Amino acid sequence: MSDKRILIIGSVAIDSIETPFGKRNSILGGSATYSSISASFFNKDVNIVAVVGRDFPKAHTSLLARRGIGLDGLEVADGKTFRWKGNYRYDLNSPRTIYTHLNVFKDFKPFVPAGLRNCPYVFLANIDPDLQDEVLSQVKGPKLVLCDTMNFWIQSKRKSLLKLMKKVDMFLMNEGEARLLSGETNLIKCAKFAMSKGARSVIIKKGEHGVLFFSKRFNCAVPAYLLETIRDPTGAGDSFAGGMMGYLSYKRKASERNLRKSLVYGSIMASFAVEDFSVRRLLGLKRRDVERRYNRFLDTTRF
Ligand code: AMP
């Protein structure tokens, strides 16, 4: 049996969120949190590298452990956990960041435990690109590297991000971030820009309008799952990436067919994540719920 372990570096956070449908303070969030839980529906060997502060509730750590997420790389440091506050208006695609408190991430020196240094699947979830790079440099010969980012890092660490882009197989951004990074308006041009900087393929998330995939081999567009109830879009991108990586690791081969299907599974996981605040909806899911929605998705997109 070939190795299908996944390693994820990203934020584990305490979020405060306001959407037109409600408001929550100090709830579990973070890119590594959403993506690891989402990936765990496809792969039972998902591990994270991240840091939290002493204030991080034990209940959150237990929740991740119960989900089977490997926490050997989760450091508990003196100081406060990363905190993010976001506010969404009726256009749910892009939040307004009220604050980003990096806290313990400011001095974090990521350390990949020896047993995880040969993980074949690596997801560099949204966090400081220098930390993403440090983790990647500790991993030996990964088979597939997916990298996500956001406007915060494009603005503050552009140089580091461009350096990192050369080392990844798939680079993920939302449409606003793709435009910010490239200075282009057209999304095909945005993707070409990222590929000219070394990314081997580019995925552009368009929220409720789906996702675009670009590579030298093929391009494709996948719509979002038709969803009537959205309560909190936070974590959609991370859940998408986790689902995609989970599916690709489960199939063990990034063929065109598997890549196309992974985009659909990613969209399905994102559609669940936004139905409730924090990771509530994801935690209540069974794998058969994912399959049911996948089949309904095929039905609504068949011509
Ligand atoms: P998304 O999937 O893009 O909605 O990501 C949502 C998560 O990203 C939230 O739970 C936040 O805690 C986390 N987040 C927000 N800003 C940052 C940042 N600058 N770096 C890393 N994670 C962040």
Q: Which residue's CA is the nearest one to ligand 1's atom 20?
A: 127
**Which pLDDT score, from 0 to 100, does residue 94 have?**
80
Residue from 150, 158, 279 whose mutation best tests the ligand 1 pocket (most atoms within 8 A of CB): 150
* Cα–ligand 1 centroid distance for 84 (angstroms): 7
- Within 10 A of 267 (CB to CB), how many other CB atoms are there? 24
The CA-based angle 291-296-300, given to 5 degrees, is 145
* Domain residue ranges of the chain, discontinuous segments joined by +: 6-301
Query: Is residue 92 in contact with ligand 1, taking CB distance under 6 Å?
Result: no
**In terms of CATH architecture, what is 6-301?**
3-Layer(aba) Sandwich (3.40)
Closest alpha carbon to 148 in 116, 117, 181: 181
Whether the CB-CB separation of 213 and 206 falls below 8 Å is answered with no
Closest alpha carbon to 30 in 93, 135, 100, 106: 100
**Which pLDDT score, from 0 to 100, does residue 43 have?**
97
Query: Is residue 150 in contact with ligand 1, taking CB distance under 6 Å?
Result: yes
Strand order in the sheet with 144-148: 70-77, 46-53, 6-9, 121-124, 144-148, 170-174, 201-205, 211-215, 219-222
Q: Which residue's CA is the nearest one to ligand 1's atom 6?
A: 235
Strand order in the sheet with 96-101: 22-29, 13-19, 82-87, 96-101
Whether the CB-CB separation of 246 and 37 falls below 8 Å is answered with no
Whether the CB-CB separation of 147 and 194 falls below 8 Å is answered with no
Q: Does the predicted TM-score (pTM) go above 0.75?
A: yes
Q: Alpha-carbon torsion 118, 121, 124, 129, what sign?
A: positive
- Which atom of ligand 1 is found nearest the CA of 153? 19
**Which pLDDT score, from 0 to 100, does residue 2 have?**
73
* Cα–ligand 1 centroid distance for 10 (angstroms): 9
- Which atom of ligand 1 is found nearest the CA of 95? 4
Encoded tokens for 4: 């299908």
Compute the distance between CA of residue 275 and CA of residue 287 in angstroms, rounded to an integer: 17
Compute the distance between CA of residue 18 and CA of residue 143 in angstroms, rounded to an integer: 39
Query: Is residue 241 in contact with ligand 1, taking CB distance under 6 Å?
Result: no
First CA to last CA distance, the chain: 38
- Which atom of ligand 1 is found nearest the CA of 14? 12
Query: Is residue 15 in contact with ligand 1, taking CB distance under 6 Å?
Result: yes
Q: Could you list the pLDDT tens digit for every one of the 303 residues in the chain?
A: 579 999 999 999 999 999 999 999 999 999 999 999 999 999 999 999 999 999 999 999 999 999 999 999 999 999 999 999 999 988 887 889 999 999 999 999 999 999 999 999 999 999 999 999 999 999 999 999 999 999 999 999 999 999 999 999 999 999 999 999 999 999 999 999 999 999 999 999 999 899 999 999 999 999 999 999 999 999 999 999 999 999 999 999 999 999 999 999 999 999 999 999 999 999 999 999 999 999 999 999 998
- Which atom of ligand 1 is found nearest the CA of 238? 2
Q: Which residue has the tokens 């799952």?
A: 225
